Amino acid sequence: MTYIEQLGANAKAAEKYIANAGTKKKNEALKAIADALVKNTDLIIEQNKLDLQNAKENNISEVMQDRLMLNADRIEGIAQCVLKLIDLEDVVGSVEYGAVRPNGLKISKVRVPLGTIGIIFESRPNVTVDAATLCMKAGNAVILKGGKEAINSNKCLTEIMRNAVVSTGLPADIIQLVTDTSRECTTELMKLNKYLDVLIPRGGAGLINAVVANATVPVIETGTGNCHIFIDASADIETAVNITDNGKTQRPSVCNALESMLVHKDIAEKFLPLVKERLDNHKVQFFGCSRTKEILGDCVTLATEEDYATEFLDYKISVKVVENIDEAIEHISKYTTHHSECIITENLSNAVRFQNEIDAAAVYVNASTRFTDGSEFGFGAEIGISTQKLHARGPMGLKELTSAKYIIMGTGQTR
């Protein structure tokens, strides 16, 4: 049995204990994890510093280093997210449908855990805790595969969580981390059909595409966000500037950050200089069409097809001046990753048309795409943003980490 197969076998053996743990026991384990994270803050920071040092030596960008970094405030924030899970309704065992058939059969549709979930993710060590605790609250065992750039942080966090769940009487192997960072182990995990019920990649386009192309385990796609904002002719300028600034610069390294801006020709000369002035505070680079360059000058690099298709995850934005809403919708439809798209408009018919015609998990009118988040939607923590249409779409919370089982009660009926 290989290393990865052993992890799978461990998870399957532990799976029944968390699936049948009940809400009280799961919440006890979550409380133990939150307390242990805070108690071990110094140890976590110590291990995280090793990852940060490696990141600097490998010339990883400052934006990506920020995603990697843990400090006392961030660890406290992670612990608070775990505690919030305790307050969320436990969906396992809830009855979604019930009926009595003419033949007397009583049929119920009940939420049940997915089983064992594999999660492959990059950079952000907070995902280690978010993913593990969400899976656990939904009654699942989990095998985590983080990026090598966060290996020391992830090992530390996982060991803390495993010890915490053991202290409440649950087996440690409901949470496991792949500590071998080789590509071969990642590929083997993608094909672990015997033990994994579903695989969830969380990261950039490269990671997600690689998992989708190579996995034989069923995959839920999450994360890639080439998010657009369209500034319509009727847009309130101040609103448009504020939302664009927030969407691009509040946290550029996340999947719901803005990457591309479309501006109606009738408002472009007024809007573009104002939004550039605001974005200059963060030294945002502009990649734009020829009309954008005419208005803003040499600070604009002429955009290529690749620029319009890129999820920058950085202080960069692609820009295009468009004739009308038709061209805006056509452009977005060509380059969208189906994550989050936004229109700024005071025209109700254009707002409704944009909502109806844009194919994305979240479509905004006069609000920042940065709100595409399980917590902001009132779902609590999330495992990621699903950009596909089967099983789950948008922020994936507890319900999306469960499946359904039909329970049929009879009195001897035959067919």
Query: CA 1 to CA 9: how far, in whole Å?
Result: 9
Read off the pLDDT of residues 339-392 as tens digits, 9 standing for 90 and up: 999 999 999 999 999 999 999 999 999 999 999 988 788 776 778 888 888 778
The mean per-residue pLDDT over the stretch 47-60 comes to 93
335 pLDDT tier (thresholds 50, 70, 90) = very high
Q: What is the pTM (predicted TM-score) of this model?
A: 0.83
Read off the pLDDT of residues 286-303 as tens digits, 9 standing for 90 and up: 999 999 999 999 999 999
Read off the pLDDT of residues 201-226 as tens digits, 9 standing for 90 and up: 987 778 888 898 899 999 988 878 99
Cβ neighbours of residue 116 closer than 8 Å, sequence gap 6 or more:
8, 11, 12, 15, 140, 141, 142, 143, 195, 196, 197
Q: Are 345 and 365 in contact, with CB atoms under 8 Å apart?
A: yes
Residue percentage of the chain with pLDDT more than 70: 100
Query: CA 388 to CA 369: how far, in whole Å?
Result: 18
Q: Which of 245, 192, 174, 228 is nearest to 30 (CA)?
A: 174
Question: Phi/psi of residue 300, each to 5°?
Answer: -95, 125
pLDDT at 378: 79
* Residue 123 in this model has a pLDDT that exceeds 80: no
The mean per-residue pLDDT over the stretch 158-185 comes to 96
Mean pLDDT, the chain, integer: 94
